[in-house]
Structure 1
Amino acid sequence: MSAMQWEAVRASAQWAAYGDALGFITELTDTAGVRRRIGHDEVTTTVPWKRRIGGRYGRDMPLPAGAYSDDTQLRLATSRAIRGDGEFDAEAFAKIEVVAWQAYALGAGRGTKAAATGLMRVEAKWSQNIFATKAARYVDIGGNGAAMRIQPHVWSARDLTNWDHITRDVVRNAVSTHGHPRGILGAVLHAVLLAHTLDANELPGPKQWRPAIDWLEQVPDVIARDDELAYLWLPTWTEAAGTDFRSAALTVADECRTAFEAVDSATPLTPETYTALVERLGGFDDATRGSGTVTTVLAAVLAYAYASSPEAALLLAANTLGSDTDTIATMAGALLGAVTAAPPPGAVQDADAIDSEARRMWDISRGRETATFAYPDLLRWSPPKATLDLVGHTPNGPALAGLGTLTPVGTPTPGNQATYVWGTLPFGQSVLVRARPDLRPLDEHLLPGDVRQPRTRQSADAAPTDQQLLFDTPTSSAVTTDQGRLERGAARGTLSERAHRPGPPTLEEIVQGLARNGFPPEQVGRALLHQMGSGRYGVERAAALAGLLARAYQSEQERPG
């Protein structure tokens, strides 16, 4: 295995954000719309522009050069949820990051937004966000909203050839919002193609596409080897979907094979032949434009064809109007950046914050102990029922639930039902938040561990009043940017429960042992209590163990004498 270089990870992150920023300008519009947004018919680099925010009756908001969409927003959220020891905190990602993201989402897809709303339910978990509304059904969400954000799992991987481990974390990430195998397996396919790129320092072509697609057929086995996926997510998914995941995965793998077979790698990929390929794969159709697999295939083909011209590749993706411009460009950018030493040629918003997270991912891949974001305590996490209240006021001024204090940049813009304002989070990320003009108090348990007010008489005196005008002067001095930075979360973000522990028996092995002993009540009780006290997912694991025990016990009772 070759050593992944820091510059490759850094450039992959920056080019991914640059592709997103280019394609965001042209997303879901026509030539006249592009002209209204930037004054030209085509995008040639990142520039300041205006976009309608808040739907048809929203406001036209100015966006800075290099402004990125939900693709990069959720990629940064994924990165923060990877702990300093390399463990992905799926529950914090789903219950805190995705929920908080609703306050600042830009260009978000319907499926991911519906999933985020589902995760606000108290009973929802990363592994059990099964929902069905008039707008969307969990098991039908197969868009690219997962594939576009999972690169940090590859950047932080200690062994790029261990597709099993990368796949486990990618699937855990994807299933919190996406329930259709296209959304899940599209994310896995992009991850293993990026892993090959970083490992071999070459963009994967037809010879590498084949084993990557073959790997998709192994994903059900990866799921079966992971307790939370096998015993918490899979049974619930199977019941909701009414089908077998293994057969569904084989169908999706065959779809990807067929899609790659439509590519004539011997013919140059010109704007005309790329447009024809997008059309052949359904990339212009409303029903399939944002498919997790179609987008992954198009990004891989584009990156391979333009290995020596990354800028041309991203401009082609961004200017192919009617396709999923930003996501194809961001995923192609992640691949191309991994083999490109130079930074992107245009401005990227929050370039320093993107660098900081990329560096943390690379440090994790080298086995160095790094900082962990100090998320609020999930046992006390109860977000506001209304997304407008995710931004509230605290003794330290305005704050965004889950992520910390919010320093306003610019003047608030009143909208139809909300007020919009640009702000900066403690770790340097810029967000255009949607909030009430009169902020309501934000419970201290919704703030990261390193920015909560100390419990003293002084803090009681500074308790927030019932309402505060949006971004009034705070009633006490705000936490400094340095104090609130991600690195300061290391002390409170202790190592994952599983970090340095030898592998425990799987739930299936525990059940087999209890069955061999005749299900003695004391041993069964001890096993359940042990699971309940086994860390972050203790209650879920105990519930999964109880279900397995019940099935095994019933099977034993029904066995003939």
Structure 2
Amino acid sequence: MQWEAVRASAQWAAYGDALGFITELTDTAGVRRRIGRDDVTTTVPWKRRVGGRYGRDMPLPAGAYSDDTQLRLATSRAIRGDGEFDAEAFAKIEVVAWQAYALGAGRGTKAAATGLMRVEAKWSQNIFATKAARYVDIGGNGAAMRIQPHVWSARDLTNWDNITRDVVRNAVSTHGHPRGILGAVLHAVLLAHALDTMELPGPKQWRPAIDWLEQVPDIIAKDDELAYLWLPTWSDAAGIDFRSAAITVANECRAALEAFEPTSPLTTETYAALVEQWGGFNEATRGSGTVTTLLAAVLAHAYSDSPEAGLLLAANTLGSDTDTIATMAGALLGAVTAGPPPGTVQDAKVIDSEARRMWDISQGREAATFAYPDLLRWSPPKATLDLVGHTPMGPALAGLGPLTPMDPPATSNQATYVWGTLSFGQSILVRARPDLRPLDENLLPGDVRQPRGRPAGDARPAGDAPREQQLLFEAPLQAAASAEQRPVLAGTAPEAVSERAHRHAPPPVEEIVQELARNGFTPEQVGRALLQQIRGGRYSVERAAAFAGLLARAYHQDDQ
């Protein structure tokens, strides 16, 4: 895998997102209101209503991207310098913080993000059911659109087991329907093929990739947290067997491809007919994780020689999921395209930097790790409006750190909106209270907190303010660093080259419990085994919980 391919995949994915974001969920008249013409030809400045029916029409710069790229960058940050995906930090910090700046978010992912604010919710235990949504019914493309970093950082693109494991860990934190989970896996293995062979996957590769979906239950069974924490809870809530569900989804994808004629040119008319045939215009199925993945794969294959035309076709097919189909097709097309996209992409330097970090990880090179807040002390505000608060350093976003406002705020009936820049360069349009409340320092990244015991007189003026709240757009306390001066991944700490491939992996929890059962569950051995799980480093809490659950089942079975 070459650095240029990863970089282009990331940039073309963001470009497709930016094109399709302009036309998302509107008609020709709506496109005309947004950009002054009937169709999209490149990225341009435009306006969009944010915050729902009673929100505000906010100006968006050329190349502004939606939740697709936002959550892709969040996924990337959650991949540590050693290549491990920090599923808990992604779910509990990134997805929760994202609610303050989400653009174009789907109902399912928003409902899942709200669920993750619960203290008891974990990445593997975000089972919820509300009037608006049920976890096990969320099968949209909100997972598939964000999982590319797992492929970009993969050390072995032919090892679909490892890629699938991390993709599933990512997906299940928000999506509980097999179409949402398996659609993400399907897109990941197709992208892995493109980066490995430098050729876009076609019909001959689509079918083996679909066949792979039936292997996903085996990948889940090999992972302690997925097998012993997520799967039993999911099965109880869904009332079905995941293996049977995986076969059903794979058969749906096979049936869709049987109705597709790959030798016919994919014109505006034939693409629209395919979208119609696969339910891409139907509100109930438009955002399906599998439908979107297949449409993106078809577009990429048909437009391998003219990627811009393929993304414009996706973006201008109004009534379909324009931004997500275009962003996923862009990730595939970029993998085999030399050079950047032809139009402006917002935060191109940040996207480049994260793509470079993913590539460094894939090559086993030293890479930085984002310094997330300590999850043991992480307790986000109950209201999403309070995710942005004031600190002694000025405004900050919970989990991600200092926020420098770039424009005067715009107020609505319920909130204030303002464009700001995070310390590592990403631009976000935040929704917050006009009078910010204090943000607990435990919600800040580890490298931006004030040193403990600092004399009160040393605090910055905003921290000394006698009132409990602070206006969002007060004069900045210090000049913001320029994009060139600012560290691209502030909030990170360098780490050594990964030794993951050489580490001795702990024995599976199932083997430990089997050994305890053979020895009669002696208290000393049980206690020692539990302590081993607790002391097991990363995911020790999840491993301990999985161990306890499996131990209880095995003990009662043995007792019977």
Structure 1 residues 29 and 459: CA distance shift in structure 2, 3 A: farther
Alpha-carbon distance between aligned partners in 1 of 2:235 and 2:384, rounded to the nearest angstrom: 31
Match of 2:435 in 1: 438
Alpha-carbon distance between aligned partners in 2 of 1:498 and 1:522, rounded to the nearest angstrom: 31
Q: Deviations over 1:440-487 (max 9, x none)?
A: 111111011111111211477543541001121356787997676425
Instruction: Pick the aligned partner of 2:473 from 462, 471, 474.
Output: 471
State the Cα distance separating 1:543 from its structure 2 match. Answer: 2.1
Match of 1:274 in 2: 271
For the 8 Å contact 2:366–2:498, the answer to whether it is kept is no
Instruction: Pick the aligned partner of 1:41 from 38, 56, 60.
Output: 38
Match of 2:226 in 1: 229
State the Cα distance separating 1:330 from its structure 2 match. Answer: 0.2
The answer on 1:375 being equivalent to 2:346 is no
Structure 1 residues 497 and 397: CA distance shift in structure 2, 3 A: farther
For the 8 Å contact 2:32–2:38, the answer to whether it is kept is yes
Match of 2:525 in 1: 523
For the 8 Å contact 2:364–2:498, the answer to whether it is kept is no
Structure 1 residues 398 and 378: CA distance shift in structure 2, 3 A: same
For the 8 Å contact 1:372–1:487, the answer to whether it is kept is no
Match of 1:294 in 2: 291
Q: What is the identity, as a one-letter code, of the residue corresponding to 1:59?
A: R
4+ residue runs of structure 1 moved beyond 3 angstroms?
A: 458-465, 474-485, 493-501
Match of 2:281 in 1: 284
Alpha-carbon distance between aligned partners in 2 of 1:471 and 1:498, rounded to the nearest angstrom: 45
The answer on 1:365 being equivalent to 2:362 is yes
- Counterpart of 2:409 in 1: which secondary structure? strand
State the Cα distance separating 1:405 from its structure 2 match. Answer: 0.5
The answer on 1:453 being equivalent to 2:450 is yes
Alpha-carbon distance between aligned partners in 2 of 1:478 and 1:18, rounded to the nearest angstrom: 27
Instruction: Pick the aligned partner of 2:507 from 505, 508, 518.
Output: 505
Match of 2:414 in 1: 417
Task: Name which of structure 1's ranges 182-191 and 469-478 shifts more when overlaid on structure 2.
Answer: 469-478
Alpha-carbon distance between aligned partners in 1 of 2:486 and 2:306, rounded to the nearest angstrom: 41
Structure 1 residues 391 and 484: CA distance shift in structure 2, 3 A: farther
Alpha-carbon distance between aligned partners in 1 of 2:36 and 2:275, rounded to the nearest angstrom: 26
The answer on 1:113 being equivalent to 2:110 is yes
Task: Name which of structure 1's ranges 473-482 and 426-435 shifts more when overlaid on structure 2.
Answer: 473-482
Structure 1 residues 103 and 147: CA distance shift in structure 2, 3 A: same
The answer on 1:255 being equivalent to 2:257 is no
- Counterpart of 1:490 in 2: which secondary structure? strand
For the 8 Å contact 2:350–2:488, the answer to whether it is kept is no
Match of 2:209 in 1: 212
Q: What is the identity, as a one-letter code, of the residue corresponding to 1:490?
A: A
Structure 1 residues 283 and 369: CA distance shift in structure 2, 3 A: same
Match of 2:97 in 1: 100
For the 8 Å contact 1:12–1:333, the answer to whether it is kept is yes
1:480-491 → structure 2 map (5 Å cutoff): 485-486=488-489, 489-491=492-494
State the Cα distance separating 1:359 from its structure 2 match. Answer: 0.4
Structure 1 residues 264 and 459: CA distance shift in structure 2, 3 A: farther
Q: Percent identity?
A: 83
The alignment of Structure 1 onto Structure 2 pairs a total of residues equal to: 554
Alpha-carbon distance between aligned partners in 1 of 2:103 and 2:233, rounded to the nearest angstrom: 31
Instruction: Pick the aligned partner of 1:165 from 162, 167, 183.
Output: 162
Task: Name which of structure 1's ranges 478-487 and 54-63 shifts more when overlaid on structure 2.
Answer: 478-487
Alpha-carbon distance between aligned partners in 1 of 2:255 and 2:546, rounded to the nearest angstrom: 38
Q: What is the identity, as a one-letter code, of the residue corresponding to 1:321?
A: L
Task: Name which of structure 1's ranges 258-267 and 390-399 shifts more when overlaid on structure 2.
Answer: 258-267
For the 8 Å contact 1:182–1:292, the answer to whether it is kept is yes
- Counterpart of 1:51 in 2: which secondary structure? strand
The answer on 1:426 being equivalent to 2:423 is yes
Alpha-carbon distance between aligned partners in 2 of 1:398 and 1:323, rounded to the nearest angstrom: 38
The answer on 1:126 being equivalent to 2:116 is no
Alpha-carbon distance between aligned partners in 2 of 1:381 and 1:294, rounded to the nearest angstrom: 37
State the Cα distance separating 1:542 from its structure 2 match. Answer: 1.7
The answer on 1:180 being equivalent to 2:177 is yes
State the Cα distance separating 1:503 from its structure 2 match. Answer: 1.0
Q: Deviations over 1:367-419 (max 9, x none)?
A: 10200001011110000000000001111111111001011111110112000
State the Cα distance separating 1:540 from its structure 2 match. Answer: 2.6
Alpha-carbon distance between aligned partners in 2 of 1:215 and 1:459, rounded to the nearest angstrom: 61
- Counterpart of 1:217 in 2: which secondary structure? helix
Q: Deviations over 1:326-366 (max 9, x none)?
A: 00000000000000002101000000100000000001011
1:19-58 → structure 2 map (5 Å cutoff): 19-58=16-55
Alpha-carbon distance between aligned partners in 1 of 2:496 and 2:230, rounded to the nearest angstrom: 26
Instruction: Pick the aligned partner of 1:61 from 58, 69, 85.
Output: 58
Q: Deviations over 1:114-154 (max 9, x none)?
A: 00000000000000000000000000000000000000000
Provide structure 2 residue ranges, at least 5 long, that are not aligned to the other structure.
Answer: none
State the Cα distance separating 1:260 from its structure 2 match. Answer: 1.6
Length-normalised TM-score, structure 2: 0.96
State the Cα distance separating 1:501 from its structure 2 match. Answer: 3.2
Task: Name which of structure 1's ranges 458-467 and 350-359 shifts more when overlaid on structure 2.
Answer: 458-467
Match of 1:398 in 2: 395
Alpha-carbon distance between aligned partners in 2 of 1:551 and 1:458, rounded to the nearest angstrom: 54
For the 8 Å contact 1:79–1:361, the answer to whether it is kept is yes
Instruction: Pick the aligned partner of 2:138 from 138, 141, 164.
Output: 141
Provide structure 1 residue ranges, at least 5 long, that are not aligned to the other structure.
Answer: none
Alpha-carbon distance between aligned partners in 2 of 1:273 and 1:75, rounded to the nearest angstrom: 30
Q: What is the identity, as a one-letter code, of the residue corresponding to 1:386?
A: A
Length-normalised TM-score, structure 1: 0.96
- Counterpart of 2:406 in 1: which secondary structure? strand
Task: Name which of structure 1's ranges 251-260 and 463-472 shifts more when overlaid on structure 2.
Answer: 463-472
Q: What is the identity, as a one-letter code, of the residue corresponding to 1:486?
A: L
Match of 1:534 in 2: 536
Q: Deviations over 1:518-554 (max 9, x none)?
A: 1111101111122122223223322221221122122
Q: Deviations over 1:260-296 (max 9, x none)?
A: 2221011100100000000000000000000000000
Q: Deviations over 1:66-105 (max 9, x none)?
A: 0000000000000000000100000000000000000000
Q: What is the identity, as a one-letter code, of the residue corresponding to 1:530?
A: Q
